[in-house]
Amino acid sequence: MAANPKHLMVFAPLFLAGACGDAGQDGAIGARGTLEGPDVMLDAVTEEVFTVGSVVGDAWDTFGSVSSVAFDREGNLHIFDSQAEHILVVGRDGSLLRTVGGQGEGPGEFGNVSSAIVARDGSYTVLSFSQVDLFDPGGIFVRRVQMDAILFSGLALPDGRLVASGFVSMDASSRASSSPDDGGRPIHVIPLDGTEPEILYTAWVLPEDADDDNFAVDSSRTIRISAGRAFEPGLYYDVLTDGRLALADSIGYRVKLIGLDGSVTGVVERPIAPLAVDEAIMEAERERYRESTAQLQDLQSSFRVEREGVEELDFADEVPVIGDVEVDWEDRIWVTRRAADGDRDGGPTDIVTPDGRYIGTLAADGLQTPGAFGPDGLLAYIERDELDVPTVRVIRLVSLEPEG
């Protein structure tokens, strides 16, 4: 799961866009090897499995734009190429097994797909403009579900329903459903049987939002994005095998476990305080904003995007500690901390368990959270080679041991 355009709060920034210590330090004072103690650095032993994607290889792995990757329980890799509008299914040896979808508007074809969700059994939930297409594990089209909203991304629950943190009403000039009247950011459970979505949990949001109308879609399919406020607390979550969500929505280091009834069943915390935003952090964020705006201009989409300039960017007072949350196939939670300059992808990654056990920390320049976790330690990374050609590299995580 992971690089992945999986949540609206991740999609939007790209498409649009305790006590002591801080996000740039080594944890906190306490017993070594616990959540309260200093970082215990991990040595990750890995082995290469295969790499696909080239400009001179087989025709099938000449990728256009790899948007996401996912494994099924057999260890097959599913690569969603949003430019070619299809999913390539690759076996454990790196060979092509089959192709799912293809450009078109008919049953079984992809048109303007925003996200392709792969379940562990290999079945597919494909999200596109105001509709959801379902495919069986063999890639055979099952049915189409029409929606009254644009759903950009989501995750599959074990029972087949979707969970999503935001969607946009089809009504003209409407805005994303991320700020209900009672405040907060709702996470919806979306049945695919025609019944209405329900709010599972309402995540926290900073008070006095700098710009409530920061994301709107009109009837001409124009997305208008305000610059907004940098360093708003992110909304990051992934699904555990029992259907609970591992969710981070605060400024501090706090991962909540949300049950299918919306209750908080547990909390994983470390006493690492957020960084105060200074001028150096603000300038680094302005540069990231410029780069993401340039990426917007390169996106191929049926939507037209209008975004405010960097001079309109506002700033929160603190940099949230957590930059991402992902769950691997062993239900270990990978918590990426922000870097000292505020970069959400640049810090170390803690590996913890839902019951609060601290396994250790991966260095910022070490093994990274992958685009997809798979069985038997498989990890997939979306990369580009020295010629800027899209590739997907698969490795196996053999072991994680404390350094020294």
- The candidate with the shortest Cα–Cα distance to 40, out of 352, 303, 377, 294, is 352
pLDDT at 149: 72
Strand partners, 373: 379
Which of 165-174, 197-206, 244-253, 305-314 comes out lowest in average pLDDT?
165-174
Neighbours of 256 (CB within 10 A): 21
> How many other CB atoms are found less than 10 A from the CB of residue 350?
26
- Mean pLDDT of the region 214-227: 66
| Cβ-contact 321, 23 below 8 angstroms | yes
Q: Render the burial of 99-115: b for 16+ CB within 10 Å, e for the rest.
A: ebbeeeeeebebbbbbb
Q: What is the pLDDT of residue 309?
A: 84
- 197: nearest Cα among 131, 138, 137, 147: 147
pLDDT reading at 23 higher than 70: no
Determine the pLDDT at residue 18. 34
Please tell me whether residue 119 adopts helix, strand or coil conformation.
coil
Q: What is the pLDDT of residue 29?
A: 76
pLDDT digit string (tens) for 341-376?
999 988 999 999 999 999 999 999 999 999 999 999
Q: Which segments of 343-389 are extended strands (E)?
A: 349-352, 358-362, 372-373, 378-384
Stated pTM of the model: 0.87
Answer whether residue 182 shows pLDDT above 80. no
CA angle (201 as vertex; 357, 354 as ends), nearest 5:
10
Nearest 5°: phi and psi at 15? -80, -40
362/149: higher pLDDT: 362
State the average pLDDT over residues 383-401. Answer: 94
pLDDT at 301 over 60: no
- Rounded CA gap, 173 and 217, in Å? 6
pLDDT band at 294 (very low <50, low <70, confident <90, very high): confident
Rg (CA), the chain: 20
State the average pLDDT for the chain.
Answer: 85
Residue that wins the pLDDT comparison between 2 and 140: 140
pLDDT at 10 over 90: no
**Whole-number pLDDT of residue 366:** 96
Q: What's the rounded Cα separation, in Å, for the pair 275 and 211?
A: 23
Per the model's pLDDT, the better-predicted residue between 210 and 214 turns out to be 214
Average pLDDT over residues 284-297: 83
Sign of the Cα torsion 121, 372, 133, 257 reads positive
- Report whether pLDDT(223) > 80: no
164, 190 contact by CB (below 8 A): yes
Q: Is the pLDDT at 334 greater than 60, yes or no? A: yes
For residue 178, the model assigns a pLDDT of 42
At residue 194, does pLDDT exceed 50? Answer: yes
What is the strand order of the sheet 304-307 is part of? 174-175, 215-217, 222-225, 304-307
8-15 and 279-298 helices cross at what angle (nearest 10)? 80
84-128 pLDDT, tens digit each: 999 999 999 999 999 999 999 888 999 888 899 999 999 999 998
Cα separation, 119 vs 216, in Å, equals 30
- Spatial contact of 351 and 373, defined as CB atoms under 8 Å apart: no
pLDDT band at 312 (very low <50, low <70, confident <90, very high): confident
